[in-house]
């Protein structure tokens, strides 16, 4: 029997466009099949209505449509203007503005395309032929505004910006309210509106009791005469005309003319079910208990002029007034002019200071004399920077980097900034002109019309020091972090929508179980029966459809990883600023795409775990008697380092530790720094999709020669053997081969992807191919060059970025090669980071012959540390940080009070004041083994510790009458139990690998170490899943890394096999894979044919895992101990996930 549809949801779901932010190409020609009223005037008549009250989904958990969808629908309806008015927010307005901009470009491109393919046209169009000035339809204007909800006023206000000053007043008003309140809230009163309402059209939305609105409405009208109106929105309850009459009376009494508004929540009626789901999420109820909070109908959709004219037939002036207001609100977001921070020091102008610092930096970088080529590059860059006025930007980044270096915080610039000799001279980047061919136009272009973008990585553990310095230097009124929009992703959507729709926890868990990682794809309806669910169940089917709709919806705003906007004047005059959840931080309402669209400068203060690791490694090296090194002073071009990488010995090495990179290293056999630049860049989506990897390897191995494209093009791609791998090379090919200017080549690079999506790449194709033919190249050569550039237009890697990362690759590899204990120690102390968990890092270190010693209360500190062995070599001592749930404060007290050591657990308790929960964690981690105590003995001892006996006055009268508790001899734990407890407490073990214990019970296996020498045949391998990868370029192929007691095995799971064994591939922790071996050089892959999930067998390691996993450790020492989880609460497979987690990548 199928379930009835939930209350508030129609029995069938109307067709609708997906909840996606992408604009549908050709939307202007699309038929209206939604069953709604057709678009009214379209482009054939002047618009008769402007919608001034629209709530987008940036009023979180309220609006049911994306801003982009609302803009597209408004264009279809022929509206004259729309106002995005989210609750106390302008977070979605830039997206609507950008969507309109794209629509204009699409309309013009559609005209161009139509004229090019129209056989009746007698006009020959060249790529430079201008498009018609008038689009084929009239697009709506966007009014920037917000819906102000005040704490002391029953009236809500639509605040619409008339001009630039009005916009600044609105953003400062919102900043005031948000800085007063916790994150996500806004506290504004009527007095605040009266103080900052100049430059705004204010439309009052009265409550049901219009009498309560008269006093505040009249007060605001007296303060801002001519700017205040009374909004009338239909309520669709059968009494709209009576309501409109009441609003008209209020408007007359307050001298605030009535204006029609739609109070829109969605772009189409089909979004009504989703709107009810959002209401449930906001109100904390289910669809079965939503009651009157559900929308009574779907009328709060965006309507055209005919529908609104019918509703306001007795008040036509209210409709006309919408266009009058829209005409008054002439402000456009494109008017926002960003001013760079201009800090003048000692009266020295910014450009002069930048030129001086560049000269000084070059002299410092080149102590033996500055080559003339460097002088020429610097003169060229400085001239363009001066022309565009970017000197203050460079100085801002220089000052940030200088502060970090003054505090010994390791940092390095990356990205396109490494194309700049100015950045190199200032010490922002470390990529010299000798390492790469710098293409400055990739970084700054005269014709691009947008600011440069410098990304700087800092140590991830010390970046907060840099952030707080920026706030202190520029002030919170001038500096703020960008926002990041947190969207509904698949797992969260399943969990939240499933709960709202009344699905059981088991059903939502089953739906989540078929999702790969943090995918944005909804549950596959075709797989419902496969996971034990009934696809014919109407409630389940409706839930799956709603999950697909809500994926991609904004959930809330968070803070960007490090994108700072810094301004010369007040930042809150550009956009609102609010408090972040993290203390001491403030965030603007717009994300990086918004500010990029508006041309606002952003300085990326990013964090990189490898920088923390390298700084700690350098400190450990110096502290153990080694040299004092920096990134620049590490010995270069070390043969042993390159030989190590050629063996794919790269666990922990930056950027080349993934399975794909490790498989490529033996084929690449890097021998120079530039080989590492290529290595970093080539295993990327662009080169792979462009078909460039195999030709490069064949040419590197001498199996084929580069194609003869002529000496000019050969010089461009000589370093990459005739294969263009980098964006800079694509630009240089356009310049050298097709006669582009440098600026035109940069425009080509930036526009290829967008033009391909619009289907109008023909103009660029003709320009490029025609240019090459004009320069004497055969057409087939021109076509091949264009195809290569087009192939990686979306994903091409800048050579400068690859070079910056390759430097860290080399330094980390050199440390691993020559100082493995130091590198591993620093890597463990910088977790979480990288591709591998601590268990794999420790295993790799032991395989390199380094002794790893266990956690010990008498020898360990918080961090992992190095100890000198009797033979002079270094051993790694695990620190207290490896113990799950242990706190750094407890470790500090233990070390401070240790003296000559603790003889027993009680002395630790007495001297260090370690509390009982922490003592238990130490016992469970076997940290008392150095005292001669087994894990069980130690746990018994710490639980037997009692407080000191009370004074006689307070002694228990029964003291002395009880017998002495006899000594207990606990049975020893067998090896399997010890291994399980190690993983519970430490997430790693120094004892036996689980597969060593399980192998005798699993027949027919080949050890992973034997795969290297086994002939191509069908074999079975079993091991723990330590990584899973599903690259976007792999056409559905999944790569697994299995680990047994002998090593690791690389498993390739093709799409068809994945479809058969999906559940095991996604969720299994111990897998048996049977397939055939494939070998390419020293790289061996197991091509999976069958996959068996043996995760439940992990319970055979010791006592049943439900009794182990059930003893969940509290994160705080004073947290109560939870009750034991009953055995039925977790399947053994789920227990294995917690004990032996994998790292999954996409």
Confidence (pLDDT) at 755 = 46
Q: Report the C-alpha gap between 558 and 921 in whole angstroms.
A: 34
pTM given for the model: 0.79
**What is each CA distance from 613 to 461, 557, 576, 652, in whole angstroms?**
10, 31, 37, 10
Q: How far apart are CA 193 and CA 205, in angstroms?
A: 15
> For residue 716, what are the CA distances in angstroms to 670, 723, 725?
21, 10, 11
The C-alpha atoms of residue 756 and residue 745 are separated, in whole angstroms, by 16
CA–CA dist 970, 976 (Å, integer)? 17
The answer to whether 1081 touches 1088, Cβ cutoff 8 Å, is no
Nearest CA to 792 out of 680, 654, 693, 673 is that of: 693
Structure confidence at residue 19 as a pLDDT band (50, 70, 90): very low
pLDDT at 512: 79
- Can you tell me the distance from the alpha carbon of 245 to that of 232, in angstroms, rounded to the nearest whole number? 9
CB 1088 within 8 A of CB 889: no
Q: How confident is the model at residue 835 (pLDDT cuts 50, 70, 90)?
A: confident
* 606, pLDDT greater than 60: yes
- Specify the pLDDT at position 969: 73
Is residue 748 within 8 A of residue 754, CB to CB? The reply is: no
pLDDT exceeds cutoff 60 at 456: yes
Which among 94, 1037, 60 is positioned nearest to 598, based on CA atoms? 94
- The yes-or-no verdict on residue 789 having pLDDT over 50 is yes
* Percent above pLDDT 90 for the chain: 54
Coil/strand/helix, residue 884: coil
Stated as kind and residue range, the H or E segment containing 732 is helix 727-738
Per-residue pLDDT, 38:
44
Residue 632 CB partners (closer than 8 Å, separation 6+): 430
Q: Reduce the secondary structure of 219-245 to three states and give it as a string.
A: HHHHHCCCCEEEEECCCCCCCHHHHHH
From CA 1102, how far away is CA 202, in angstroms rounded? Answer: 71
Task: Name the percent of the chain lying above pLDDT 70.
Answer: 82
pLDDT recorded at residue 10: 34
Q: For residues 395 and 405, what is the distance between their CA atoms, to the nearest angstrom?
A: 15
Examine the pLDDT at 53 and tell me if it is beyond 70. yes
3-state DSSP assignment of residue 1027 = strand
Is the predicted pLDDT of residue 70 greater than 60, yes or no?
yes
Average the pLDDT over 656-685 and give the result: 88
Phi and psi at residue 887, in whole multiples of 5°? -105, 145
CA dihedral angle for residue 302, residue 304, residue 309, residue 312, rounded to 10 degrees = 10
Residue 1136: the pLDDT is 57
Show the tokens assigned to 238.
Answer: 């059968």
Please tell me the predicted confidence (pLDDT) of residue 763: 56
* Residue in 389, 382, 372 with CA at minimum distance from that of residue 433: 372
Give me the mean pLDDT over the 790-805 stretch. Answer: 72
More confident residue, 874 or 4: 874
771, pLDDT greater than 60:
yes
User: Can you say whether the dihedral through the CA atoms of 279, 285, 290, 291 is positive or negative?
Assistant: negative
Average pLDDT over residues 875-901: 95
Going across the sheet that includes 479-487, the strands are: 411-414, 455-459, 603-608, 554-566, 479-487, 586-591, 577-579
Element at 126 (helix H, strand E): none
CB 656 within 8 A of CB 681: no
User: What digits encode the pLDDT tens for the residues 339-353?
Assistant: 777 766 778 899 999
Average the pLDDT over each of 85-94, 907-916, 1030-1039 and give the range with the smallest value: 1030-1039
The per-residue pLDDT for range 489-527, each reduced to its tens digit, is 888 899 999 999 999 888 888 887 776 555 566 677 767
Nearest C-alpha neighbor of 809 from the set 605, 610, 1031: 610
| Chain centroid to CA 715 | 38
What secondary structure does DSSP assign to 305-337, as a single string? HHHHHHHTTT-HHHHHHHHHHHHH----GGG--
**How confident is the model over 1075-1134, as pLDDT tens digits?**
999 987 778 899 999 999 999 888 777 654 333 333 333 333 333 333 333 333 444 445
For the chain, give the mean pLDDT.
83
pLDDT tens digit sequence for 182-218: 988 999 999 999 999 999 999 999 999 999 999 999 9
Q: Where would I find the H helices in 835-904? A: 838-847, 888-896
Q: What is the pLDDT of residues 798-823, one digit of tens each?
A: 777 888 899 999 999 999 999 999 99
Q: How confident is the model at residue 150 (pLDDT cuts 50, 70, 90)?
A: very high
């Amino acid at each position: 029997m199928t379930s009835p549809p939930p209350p508030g949801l129609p029995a069938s779901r109307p067709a609708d466009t997906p909840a996606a932010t992408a604009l549908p190409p050709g939307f202007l020609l699309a038929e209206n099949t939604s069953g709604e009223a057709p678009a009214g005037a379209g482009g054939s008549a002047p618009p008769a209505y402007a919608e001034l009250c629209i709530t987008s989904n940036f009023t979180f958990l309220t609006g049911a449509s994306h801003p982009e969808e609302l803009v597209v629908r408004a264009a279809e309806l022929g509206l004259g203007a729309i106002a995005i008015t989210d609750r106390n927010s302008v977070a979605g307005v830039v997206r609507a503005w950008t969507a309109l901009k794209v629509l204009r470009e699409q309309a013009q491109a559609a005209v161009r395309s139509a004229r090019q393919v129209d056989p009746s046209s007698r006009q020959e169009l060249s790529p430079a032929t201008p498009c018609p000035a008038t689009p084929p339809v009239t697009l709506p204007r966007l009014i920037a505004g917000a819906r102000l909800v005040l704490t002391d006023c029953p009236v809500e206000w639509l605040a619409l910006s008339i001009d630039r000053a009005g916009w600044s007043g609105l953003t400062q008003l919102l900043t005031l309210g948000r800085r007063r309140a916790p994150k996500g809230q806004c506290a504004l009163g009527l007095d605040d509106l009266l103080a900052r309402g100049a430059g705004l059209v204010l439309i009052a939305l009265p409550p049901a009791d219009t009498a309560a609105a008269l006093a505040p409405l009249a007060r605001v009208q007296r303060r801002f005469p001519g700017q205040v109106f009374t909004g009338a929105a239909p309520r669709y309850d059968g009494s709209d005309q009576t309501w409109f009459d009441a609003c008209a009376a209020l408007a007359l009494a307050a001298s605030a003319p009535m204006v029609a508004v739609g109070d829109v929540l969605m772009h189409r009626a089909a979004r009504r079910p989703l709107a009810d789901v959002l209401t449930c999420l906001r109100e904390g109820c289910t669809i079965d208990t939503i009651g009157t909070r559900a929308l009574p109908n779907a009328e709060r959709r965006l309507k055209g002029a005919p529908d609104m004219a019918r509703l306001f037939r007795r008040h036509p002036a209210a409709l006309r007034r919408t266009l009058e207001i829209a005409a008054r609100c002439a402000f456009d977001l494109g008017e926002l002019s960003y001013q760079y921070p201009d800090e003048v020091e000692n009266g020295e102008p910014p450009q002069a200071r930048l030129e001086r610092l560049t000269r000084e930096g070059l002299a410092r970088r080149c102590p033996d004399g500055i080559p003339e080529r460097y002088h020429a590059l610097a003169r060229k860059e400085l001239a363009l920077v001066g022309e565009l006025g970017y000197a203050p930007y460079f100085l801002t980044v220089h000052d940030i980097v200088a502060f970090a270096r003054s505090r010994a915080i390791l940092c390095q610039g990356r990205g396109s900034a490494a194309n700049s000799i100015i950045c190199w001279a200032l010490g922002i980047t470390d990529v010299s002109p000798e390492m790469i061919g710098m293409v400055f136009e990739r970084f700054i272009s005269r014709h691009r019309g947008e600011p440069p973008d410098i990304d700087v990585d800092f140590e991830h553990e010390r970046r907060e020091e840099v952030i707080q310095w920026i706030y202190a230097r520029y002030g919170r009124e001038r500096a703020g972090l960008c926002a990041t929009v947190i969207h509904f992703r698949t797992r969260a959507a399943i969990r939240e929508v499933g709960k709202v729709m009344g699905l059981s926890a088991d059903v939502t868990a089953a739906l989540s179980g078929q999702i790969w990682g943090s995918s944005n794809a909804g549950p596959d309806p075709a797989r419902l029966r496969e996971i034990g669910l009934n696809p014919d169940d109407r409630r389940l089917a409706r839930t799956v459809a709603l999950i697909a709709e809500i994926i991609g919806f904004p959930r809330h705003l968070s803070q960007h990883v490090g994108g700072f906007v810094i301004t010369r004047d007040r930042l809150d005059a550009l956009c609102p600023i609010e408090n972040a959840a993290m203390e001491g931080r403030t965030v603007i309402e717009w994300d990086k795409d918004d500010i990029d669209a508006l041309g606002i400068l952003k300085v990326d203060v990013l964090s990189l775990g490898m920088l923390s690791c390298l700084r700690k490694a350098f400190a450990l090296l110096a502290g153990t008697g080694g040299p004092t090194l920096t990134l620049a002073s590490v010995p270069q071009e070390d043969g042993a380092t390159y030989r190590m990488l050629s063996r794919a010995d790269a666990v922990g090495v930056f950027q080349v530790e993934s399975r794909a990179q490790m498989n490529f290293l033996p084929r690449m056999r890097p021998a120079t720094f530039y080989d590492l630049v290529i290595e970093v860049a080539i295993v990327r989506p662009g080169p792979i999709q462009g078909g460039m990897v195999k030709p490069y390897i064949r040419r590197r191995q001498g199996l084929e020669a580069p194609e003869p494209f002529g000496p000019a093009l050969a010089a461009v791609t000589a370093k990459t053997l005739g294969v263009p791998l980098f964006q800079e090379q694509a630009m240089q090919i356009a310049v050298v081969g097709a006669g582009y200017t440098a600026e035109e080549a940069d425009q080509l690079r930036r526009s290829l992807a967008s033009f391909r999506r619009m289907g109008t790449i023909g103009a660029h194709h003709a320009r490029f191919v025609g240019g090459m033919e004009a320069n004497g190249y055969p057409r087939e050569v021109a076509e091949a060059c264009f195809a290569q550039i087009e192939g990686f237009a979306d994903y091409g890697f800048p050579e400068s970025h690859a070079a910056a990362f390759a430097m860290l690759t080399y330094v980390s590899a050199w440390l691993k090669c020559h100082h493995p204990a130091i590198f591993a120690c620093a890597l463990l102390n910088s977790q979480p980071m990288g591709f591998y968990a601590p268990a794999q890092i420790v295993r790799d270190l032991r395989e390199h012959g380094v002794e790893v010693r266990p956690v010990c209360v008498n020898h360990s500190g918080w961090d992992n540390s190095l100890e000198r062995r009797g033979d002079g070599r270094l051993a790694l001592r695990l620190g207290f940080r490896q113990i799950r749930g242990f706190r750094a404060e407890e470790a500090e007290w233990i070390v401070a009070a240790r003296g000559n050591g603790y003889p027993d657990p009680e002395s630790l308790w007495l001297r260090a004041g370690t509390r009982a929960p922490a003592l238990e964690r130490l016992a469970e981690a076997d940290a008392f083994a150095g005292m001669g105590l087994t894990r069980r003995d130690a746990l018994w001892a710490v639980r037997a510790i009692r407080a000191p006996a009370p004074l006689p006055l307070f002694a228990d009268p029964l003291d002395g009458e009880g017998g002495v508790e006899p000594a207990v001899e606990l049975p020893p734990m067998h090896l399997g139990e010890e291994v399980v407890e190690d993983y519970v407490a430490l997430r790693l073990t120094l004892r036996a690998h689980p597969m060593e214990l399980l192998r005798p019970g699993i027949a027919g296996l080949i050890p992973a170490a034997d795969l290297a020498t086994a002939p191509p045949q069908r074999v079975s391998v079993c091991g723990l899943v330590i990584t899973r990868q599903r690259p976007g370029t792999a056409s559905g192929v999944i790569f697994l890394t299995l680990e047994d007691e002998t090593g690791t095995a690389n498993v390739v799971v093709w799409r068809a096999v994945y479809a058969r064994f999906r559940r095991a591939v996604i969720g299994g922790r111990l897998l048996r894979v049977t397939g055939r071996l494939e070998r390419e050089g020293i790289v061996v892959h197991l091509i999976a044919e069958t996959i068996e999930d043996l995760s439940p067998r992990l319970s055979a390691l010791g006592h049943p895992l439900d009794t182990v996993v059930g003893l969940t450790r509290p994160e705080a020492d004073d947290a109560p101990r939870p009750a034991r989880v009953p055995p039925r609460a977790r399947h053994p497979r789920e227990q294995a996930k917690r004990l032996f987690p994998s790292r999954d990548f996409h």
